[in-house]
């Protein structure tokens, strides 16, 4: 997983979004204060959300 600074992200945001989406590879964004966040394709995020929802119900989790 690639990590980039917030400064780099500001300068190259469109290219970074394209790369993350095409490569389906999350990217870590690092601020000057040391905080971090992850940029990931929306389809992948939605898939994670659906999985979390399904596994939050014990009956669903057992069935899966």
pLDDT in tens, 22-50: 999 999 999 999 999 999 999 999 999 99
**Quick one: average pLDDT of 5-29?**
95
CA atoms within 13 A on the CB side of 19: 14
pLDDT of residue 3: 96
Question: What total of structural domains would you count in the chain?
Answer: 1
Residue-number span of the structural domain to which 19 is assigned = 2-63
Helix (H) or strand (E) holding 23: helix 6-23
Which CATH number characterizes residue 45's domain? 3.40.1620.10
Residue 4 has pLDDT above 80, yes or no: yes
Residue 51 has pLDDT above 80, yes or no: yes
CA atoms within 13 A on the CB side of 41: 11
What is the value of pTM for the model shown? 0.77
């Amino acid at each position: 997983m690639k990590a980039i600074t917030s400064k780099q992200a500001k300068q190259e945001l469109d290219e970074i979004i394209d790369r993350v989406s095409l490569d389906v590879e999350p990217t870590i964004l690092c601020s000057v204060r040391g905080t971090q966040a992850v940029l990931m394709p929306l389809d992948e995020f939605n898939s994670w959300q659906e999985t979390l929802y399904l596994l939050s119900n014990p009956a669903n989790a057992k069935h899966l």
